[in-house]
Amino acid sequence: MSNEFDNLKHEIERGARVVSLSGLTSIAAKASVLSRLAAATNKRFAVVTESNQDIDVWAADLDFWINNPVATAPGSDKSAFHTPQSAIVTLPSFETDPYSAISPHAETEERRALALWQMQHGDNNVVVLSARSLIQRTVKPDEIAALGCELKRDEDFPPEILIHRLTSSGYVREEPLFGPGQFSIRGGIVDVWPPNSETPVRIEFFGDTVDSIRAFDAETQLSVEQLKQISIAPMREFAATSQDLKDWAFFARERFSDSKFARNLKDRTDFAAEGETFSGWEFQLPLVKPLAANVFDYLRNHILVIDEPVAVENALTNLYEHLDDNYAAVIEAGDVALEPRELFLQPDELRAKLDDANRLEFRTLGRTAAATDEEFQTDAAADSPLFLFPTAEKATEIELRSRSTRKFHGDIPAFVAEFDKNAQIVVQTAGMAERLNEILREYEIYLPQDAIQIGALSSGFELSSFDLKIFSEADIFGEITSSEQRPKTKGQSTKSKLGAFISDFRDLKAGDYVVHIDHGIGRFDGLQIIESQGTSREFMLLIYADDAKLFVPVERMDLVSRYSSGEAAQPSLDRLGGLGWQKTKAKAKRAMRDMADELLKLYAERKLVRGHAFPPDAPWQHEFEDAFPYELTIDQAAAIEDVKTDMETAVPMDRL
């Protein structure tokens, strides 16, 4: 154990206000030190990262160190990394702009709700969250507790209350269940698949009493295990019922009574007044159900770990600036939106919260370099920097030096020349471990049994204070790390689709037909710059029936799309203010609902047809795949996994 680490441990245990740790050059090295620190001090930590992408890397590296206690240098204290049953909770932020009229991704909603539920129950030793999550307002801990359920066998819990909580917290009724976030009802039996459970559970009621709780296999419907109790986490962090949406429609008409909001308000109240959701409703609901808490209300006795304070502060500075700019833009364009202060902590509120918390700051280059950055910011910035983590603040400074290991890109002779037997190697599969052992034996290098670990580590590093040297699979073979292999989220793919739409929009030329979401089919007649009150703005000029003109600000181009039809004839222009387009939209909506009904019936029938379910991969299949010498692309790996999942299901495959 190094003197530097002993000093760090002592400062954390005595409750030092701010500790600055410099010299660690990678997340993998930082995670290794933090896991040691958590085990040595028995303290809880909350790691604040720059973005959601860093959350996954941090969580994977922490998980490796916590669950691989033998991944230390030979001869060192093997128990140093051991943190028994440590729970790593990840709290991502909504990456969706709250002023884009787009709902956040369902997967992010699920991950946030589960994280808050776990934090409220104290099921965490380490929380990893993004800078944006730090300032995002949410519901109080007791509210998130009331969204979920804790059921125990032989105790009363009225099934109607269970159903109400499931529906209001984002669960969808589905028969049969095929994924988390779904439930079904058959008489006194409720099947539900919580996001915090690997399998669905079947709850049988006798009146209001929970008669039995069984985990079951979603494929065979056969019981797997009898349970004494079950914890059902919510699928989103706030309750939302049809009545809440109706209430929103009422209060929104009062708040946005100015005529400039009429059109955009009507688009939303038409749905909300019927108890239906609309795009982006999650960022509008706080109008009737204010968000009265933040993540600090959930971090009980946690020490904040700020991963590179300069990067975190820059991310928050940019976020605050964009929120203010985007809010001003949508209000000016006549769209309805809540103020940033209703959705996020303001800088002075955040600064006060940070002042009340103990902090461990990971600063790779130390506080001296950060002080230089602060001076530059003060001289260069038009507005005052946030100064959330000022270097002028008194802090204990400790240095633990690490350095990144060399990248060999498959050059095995070079790796062998640098390798020593005290080093550790981390690879992702048992097949790769066997392959690497065979390669090293060809160079007469025979490794101890625990020298090669199976796991996901973002990068290798050297940490001389602990006589620790780690090589990752990517360091040796130049392959993609586990964090990079992770498939893109739906939110990311949506972003790329949006880019394609913008590119298509720019290809418009005068005379092309377009569709405005509110006014229907018109003819694009080019762009025009209009000056008003000393400012210039660019507008799209759309021509409608009777040569009526509509000017659409370019920042609201999301309302306009290119007209496309299988018919060769030119379309008829709609009349501005007429009812024709509204009737067309209503007809299309009815047709879509009819099609949805037909699809639901079709897939319900398909679910009843039993096909052949292939068994899971046998060991020889894993060995065969591990021996494949090339790295699969993200899409190839995802396609293979999806096809295997379908083949192991007794439902007929529906895939092109």
User: Residue 81: what pLDDT?
Assistant: 42
pLDDT digits (tens, 9 = 90+) for 107-124: 999 999 999 999 998 767
Q: Is the pLDDT of residue 77 over 60?
A: no
Cβ distance 327 to 337 under 8 Å? yes
User: Residue 372: what pLDDT?
Assistant: 60
Cβ distance 402 to 461 under 8 Å? yes
Kindly compute the dihedral angle of the four CA atoms of residues 195, 197, 198, 199, in this order, to the nearest 10 degrees.
Answer: -100
Strand order in the sheet with 461-463: 402-404, 461-463, 468-472, 424-427, 452-454
User: Residue 108: what pLDDT?
Assistant: 92
Phi/psi of residue 404, nearest 5 degrees: -75, 145
Q: Is the pLDDT of residue 450 over 90?
A: no
CA distance 314 to 309: 8
User: Residue 594: what pLDDT?
Assistant: 78
| Mean pLDDT value of segment 199-210 | 94
pLDDT digits (tens, 9 = 90+) for 365-410: 887 665 665 555 554 444 556 778 887 788 899 999 998 888 888 8
Residue partners of 386: CB distance under 8 A and separation at least 6: 313, 316, 317, 320, 347, 351
**What is the band of 292 on the pLDDT scale with cuts at 50, 70, 90?**
very high
Q: Cα–Cα distances in Å, from 209 out to 151, 188, 200?
A: 10, 10, 20
Mean pLDDT of the chain: 84
pLDDT digits (tens, 9 = 90+) for 154-199: 999 999 999 999 999 999 998 888 889 999 999 899 999 999 888 9
How far from the centroid of its chain's Cα atoms is residue 381's Cα? Answer: 31
User: Residue 378: what pLDDT?
Assistant: 52
Strand partners of residue 130: 49
Point out the least confidently predicted range of 76-80, 350-354, 624-628: 76-80
* H or E element that contains 248: helix 242-255
Cβ distance 181 to 188 under 8 Å? no
Phi/psi of residue 641, nearest 5 degrees: -65, -40
pLDDT digits (tens, 9 = 90+) for 421-433: 778 888 888 888 8
In eight-state DSSP terms, residue 293 is B
- Report which of residues 578 and 290 the model is more confident about: 290
Q: Cα–Cα distances in Å, from 397 out to 306, 358, 373?
A: 14, 14, 18
CA torsion sign for 72, 73, 74, 80 is: negative
CA distance 257 to 426: 61
**What is the band of 74 on the pLDDT scale with cuts at 50, 70, 90?**
very low
User: Residue 569: what pLDDT?
Assistant: 65
- Report which of residues 109 and 601 the model is more confident about: 109
CA distance 492 to 488: 6
User: Residue 564: what pLDDT?
Assistant: 76
Residue % of the chain over a pLDDT of 70: 88
Written as six digits, the tokens of 557 are 């181009």
Q: Cα–Cα distances in Å, from 321 out to 52, 282, 333, 413?
A: 19, 21, 18, 51
| Mean pLDDT value of segment 83-92 | 71
pLDDT digits (tens, 9 = 90+) for 2-55: 789 999 999 999 999 999 999 999 999 999 999 999 989 989 999 999 999 899
**What is the band of 82 on the pLDDT scale with cuts at 50, 70, 90?**
very low
| Mean pLDDT value of segment 566-581 | 73
Point out the least confidently predicted range of 31-45, 336-350, 506-520, 541-555: 506-520
**What is the band of 599 on the pLDDT scale with cuts at 50, 70, 90?**
confident
**Side chain identity at residue 565, one-letter code:** S
Q: Is the pLDDT of residue 640 over 60?
A: yes
Q: Find the DSSP H helices in 273-346.
A: 309-332, 340-343
pLDDT digits (tens, 9 = 90+) for 461-517: 999 888 889 998 888 887 444 444 443 433 343 333 333 343 445 567 788 888 888
Strand partners of residue 209: 156, 206
**Exposure letters 87-110 (e unless 16+ CB within 10 A, then b):** bbbbbbbbbbebbebbbbbeebbb
Strand partners of residue 173: 183
Q: Is the pLDDT of residue 133 over 70?
A: yes
Point out the least confidently predicted range of 35-44, 142-151, 387-396, 553-562: 553-562
User: Residue 257: what pLDDT?
Assistant: 93
Q: Global pTM?
A: 0.71
